[in-house]
Amino acid sequence: MPMKNILLYDLSNDGHHFIYNSTVMNKIKSQYNKACYYTATDNKDIINELRDKQIEVHNIHVTRKANQYLSVGYRTILLIRMLLFARINGFKKIHLFHLDSNIISLLCLLPFLLGLQVTGTLHWFPTRKWKKRILLFLLRFSMVNKIVVHGDYTQHEFNELLRPEHEQKIVNIHFPNFPIPQVSSKDNTKEVEEKLAGLTRPFFLCFGGLRSDKGIDLLLESLAPLRGKSFTLIVAGSEGYFTGNDIKQLAKQYGIEDKVFLDLRFIPDDVMDYYFNACDAVILPYRTLFSGQSGPLTEGAARNKYILGPRHGEIGHTIQTYHLGNTFEAENVEDLTDKLQQTLGTIHNEGSTLPSNNTYAPLISMERFIHSYDQFFASNG
């Protein structure tokens, strides 16, 4: 028999966070008498949307600074409050949608976990040894009962570290390609289309927020030796560690300012869709610190686009296993330059789309994603 109530926890609702979380909650709510989302948001539309779907919302206020992560101490205090809320309101089952940011806090709060069934979604494989050890400890002693990971590589890495009797605690659910909402503004895409019309192909797309680990500075440096080639680099996403001025200065420094197109903002879904359909290759110049699956990889693979990404971790495994493009040694600018040149040759000779026998696309369908999560929660009682 399923447990009566479930509490689902995530304090972030930006980007794909909320789409991901709401999709899962809307599917699994029928397994429980009550599903409650414990979160922190100033967006009333999020609260109203969930309540319209019969999902309760417990919304708290969290003090945040722009472009800064919450401290471990603050996250631990917030997690205590959530666990106390769960006990007071009779929630025995808790799912952490972003387990990555709560691993240390869970270790500090072991007594609070007794009598609760805690599951979580892990988006990144822990790169720090001590963090990995903490998570393995939590899994072995069933302080965390079961986790979702996004890819074969991460599942295999955990299974290598766990005893066979614990392998069922690691469930692989591929990160999906979320459908684009039907309601969109043609003016959005028309403006972008007009701006790109006079630019030189092929189009290299570097999509996403400009965090340091995303490596946009490495990509610009690696393109310097190719300044005599024909291409346009499209950089689309919100400013972060790097700003628009940083990108412009680096592009000028490397002599490629006439080859870089910037669209630095939160990109609407319809414009994102346009960029991925229009590009000839998706470039992921990530540093070794990046150990998760990539949303831009998923978007590109769903459209059969050529992907160039780092050789390590989940991304490298995915590109190589499913023949989605090519890989380079992370943070090796010379190797990235070489692979970019190869990519230009491939696009010139074979075009920008992969062969039609793309075996990865079915794995990232929404139908498979929803069904897999439904099974994950059903198997946990």
> Which DSSP string corresponds to 21-42?
HHHHHHHHGGGSSEEEEEE--S
Distance CA 104, CA 107 (A): 5
What CATH code is carried by the domain that includes residue 269? 3.40.50.2000
197 and 217 within one domain: yes
369 and 310 within one domain: no
Q: What is the pLDDT of residue 165?
A: 86
Distance CA 368, CA 215 (A): 31
Domain count, the chain: 2
345: number of Cβ within 10 Å: 10
**C-alpha dihedral, 317 to 180 to 35 to 109, nearest 10°:** 40
Give, in degrees to the nearest 5, the angle at Cα 282 between 281 and 288: 135
198 and 223 within one domain: yes
| E strand or H helix at 148 | strand 146-149
Q: What is the pLDDT of residue 73?
A: 93
Distance CA 110, CA 114 (A): 7
Q: Is-contact 118 144, C-beta < 8 A? A: yes
258: number of Cβ within 10 Å: 12
Distance CA 69, CA 222 (A): 30
Q: What is the pLDDT of residue 67?
A: 60
Q: What is the pLDDT of residue 259?
A: 98
16 and 161 within one domain: yes
Q: Which of 250, 231, 234 is nearest to 342 (CA)?
A: 231
Is residue 337 a part of any domain in this protein? yes
Q: What is the pLDDT of residue 1?
A: 44
370 and 260 within one domain: no
Is residue 181 a part of any domain in this protein? no
Query: Which residue carries 């991925």 as its tokens?
Result: 276
Q: What is the pLDDT of residue 2?
A: 46
221 and 356 within one domain: yes
349 and 369 within one domain: no
332 and 243 within one domain: yes
Is residue 221 a part of any domain in this protein? yes
Going along 271-324, which residue ranges are E strands? 281-283, 306-310
Q: What is the pLDDT of residue 99?
A: 97
Distance CA 236, CA 162 (A): 40
Q: Which domain holds residue 142?
A: 5-176+365-378
Q: What is the pLDDT of residue 182?
A: 66
Q: What is the pLDDT of residue 14?
A: 78
DSSP 11: S
154 and 20 within one domain: yes
200 and 74 within one domain: no
**C-alpha dihedral, 88 to 89 to 95 to 96, nearest 10°:** -50
CA 278 → CA 32, 123, 173, 271, 354, distances in Å? 43, 28, 28, 10, 14
Q: What is the pLDDT of residue 185?
A: 60
Instruction: Please list the rounded mean pLDDT of every run of 10 residues in the chain (381 residues).
Output: 81 85 94 95 92 95 77 94 97 97 96 96 93 96 96 95 91 93 71 94 97 97 98 97 97 98 94 96 97 94 96 96 97 99 93 76 95 92 58
**C-alpha dihedral, 41 to 44 to 48 to 51, nearest 10°:** 30
155 and 124 within one domain: yes
Is residue 210 a part of any domain in this protein? yes
318 and 171 within one domain: no
The whole model's pTM is what? 0.91
